[in-house]
Amino acid sequence: MLSKRVIPCLDVRNGRLTKGVKFEGNVDIGDPVETARKYYEDGADEIVFYDITASHEARGIFLDVVEKVASQIFIPFSVGGGINTVSDMRDVLVAGAEKVSVNSGAVKNPDIISEGAARFGSQCIVLGMDVKRVEKSEAIPSGFEVVIHGGRKYMGMDAIEWAKTGEALGAGEICLNSIDADGTKNGYDIELTRLVAKSVTIPVIASGGAGSPQHMVEAVTTGRATAALIASIVHYGEYTIADLKKHMAEAGVQTRSVW
Amino acid sequence: MLAIFDYKAGNQTSVHRALEHLGIPNRITNDPEILNNAQGIIFPGVGAAGQAMDELHSAGLDEVIKSLIWQNKPVLGICVGCQILLDYSEENDTRALKIIPGECRLFNPSWTDYENVPIRVPHMGWNQVELKQECELFAGIDPDADFYFVHSYYPAPSEEYVIGTTRYGIDFCSVHGRKGLWAVQFHPEKSGRPGLKLLKNFHTYCQEAAHAE
């Protein structure tokens, strides 16, 4: 049976692991390579790295982190942030990532999904979506709108339609982040997760809002996600990944128990 | 020394990193002489079967891998490298290497999983292998261990070549072959400690086979 995945997300800024409100007030919380290693040892099923600087100067430092991670951890990991061209994708894949996550780059230029899928295979291409609740309208019938720049820019696109478009263009997976839930620790936006998961056949990773193992259980049962992304609840040592998986298993969720 | 068969199929550097970590001498190569001198060959692959066969064919490397197998050189196929050992793949309507009888088919998203929910395609994530035959590759690996899969097509070899199966909508064949010629649909180089152990077991087999010669 396929296990539900637990995926810690590491935000990296200038080669350091950081956490904070997106793009602002970030605090240095450690070395990303060491942290990734620890999570690997502790049973993480996959790891996501996000380059939140994504500036030209800091890119080299970030790619260096990716390379170090690739030689030390032997589970899949994906890389996002600042992926705007096929050449950006190539850089992180060559550095050792399995998957690349495209987000605002794909909103601005959807063809990057199909170009990336044709060049590297769909299994490599994750469509990252940032989504905010809005009033239902003709343009946004689901009441969930695609946003970029950490939620500051509304794109006039319905999240459900964008998920379907992304799938049709060749994305192999969707990482679905609720801006409303992000950082609240009140749980994932289950309604959003379920809506998106039901409208595509590719796997969906729930993101934003994890505050307890029970939230993760909800995401992969009621929410129909195949994976749960987490950050703060493990970065600050509140839970270990092993704790989270144990709780999920006790709730009847299939998880990877031997590593 | 293990050779990682280089035909620009993607994951050879991940395999290389895993072998380096294990301290197993290895080379990424398509030089027939180096391949001949290797104790065993890892035949990797990601992406599409059609593209993989085109790469092999255009460089004449399909004949190289076939002749290594005919000489009984130990081979481990991974993912697309596992699929194209068969006769045919539905992906891109591809005529494959015809080394092991069988074909590769697309998962049907109307199949359901244990919760009676339709399966998602690709099959992506960690899943278990139930062995149908004893296999040196799995020596010392916990039967409950999970391995990392990512694929939309699954191998369906003839019955006698099925070594292990995995449940995803159906019980599909995730390990096939015969002694010394193994093919795994999952990625051992990305499957944590159990995957590393499998690579180590393959290397041990290759060393013993080379020694016995």
Instruction: Provide the pLDDT for residue B38.
Output: 97
Instruction: Provide the pLDDT for residue A220.
Output: 97
Angle subtended by helix axes B61-70 and B49-58, to nearest 10? 90
**3-class secondary structure per residue, A190-211:** HHHHHHHHHHCCCCEEEECCCC
Instruction: Provide the pLDDT for residue B112.
Output: 93
Residues of chain B positioned with their CB less than 8 A from the CB of A173:
124
Instruction: Provide the pLDDT for residue B8.
Output: 78
Task: Encode pLDDT of B109-158 as tens digits.
Answer: 999 987 788 999 999 999 999 999 999 999 999 999 999 999 999 999 99
Active site residues of A: 11, 130
Strands (E), A54-163: 77-80, 99-102, 125-133, 144-148, 153-158
Does residue A55 have a pLDDT over 80? no
The CA distance from A55 to A206, in Å, is 27
The CA distance from A12 to B2, in Å, is 36
Domain for residue A16, yes or no? yes
Instruction: Provide the pLDDT for residue B130.
Output: 98
CATH number, domain containing residue A219: 3.20.20.70
Find the helix or strand (DSSP H, E) in which A228 lies: strand A227-230
Cβ of B126 and A98 within 8 Å? no
Q: In chain B, which residue's Cα lies nearest the Cα of A122?
A: B47
Q: Which residue has the tokens 């995401």?
A: A219
Q: What pTM did the predictor assign?
A: 0.94
Tell which of A38, A39, A66, A74 to mutate to test the B interface (max B CBs under 10 Å): A74
Percent of chain A with pLDDT over 90: 82
Does residue A152 have a pLDDT over 90? no
Q: Which of A128, A129, A127 is nearest to A142 (CA)?
A: A129
Instruction: Provide the pLDDT for residue B47.
Output: 77
The number of folded domains in chain A is 1
Q: In chain A, which residue's Cα lies nearest the Cα of B145?
A: A258
Instruction: Classify residue B98 as exposed, middle or buried by CB count within 10 Å of its CB (0-12, 13-18, 19+).
Output: middle
Asked if A203 is an interface residue toward chain B (Cβ–Cβ < 8 A), one would say: yes
C-alpha triplet A198, B129, A247: angle, nearest 5°:
60
Instruction: Provide the pLDDT for residue A28.
Output: 84
- Domain holding A140, by residue range, is 5-250
Mean pLDDT of chain A: 93
Percent of chain A with pLDDT over 70: 97
Considering only the beta carbons, identify the residue of B117, B120, B148 that sits closest to A75.
B148
Considering only the beta carbons, identify the residue of B113, B128, B192 that sits closest to A74.
B192
Quick one: B2-212 is in which CATH superfamily? Class I glutamine amidotransferase (GATase) domain (3.40.50.880)
Does residue A24 have a pLDDT over 70? no
Does residue A25 have a pLDDT over 80? no
Confidence of residue A120 (pLDDT cuts 50, 70, 90): confident
Does residue A19 have a pLDDT over 80? no
Positions of chain B with pLDDT under 70: 9-10
Q: SS3 for B170?
A: strand
Rounded to an integer, the average pLDDT of A243-257 is 96
Confidence of residue A194 (pLDDT cuts 50, 70, 90): very high
Cβ of A1 and B113 within 8 Å? yes
Instruction: Provide the pLDDT for residue B180.
Output: 97
Does residue A71 have a pLDDT over 90? yes
Q: In chain A, which residue's Cα lies nearest the Cα of B49?
A: A121
A179 CB neighbour count, 10 Å cutoff = 18
Does residue A149 have a pLDDT over 90? no
Residue B40: φ, ψ to 5°: -165, 165
Domain for residue A257, yes or no? no
Percent of chain B with pLDDT over 70: 99
Peptide bond into B194 cis (omega under 30): no
The CA distance from B98 to B85, in Å, is 6
Residue A20: φ, ψ to 5°: 170, -170
Domain for residue A255, yes or no? no
Domain spans, chain B: 2-212
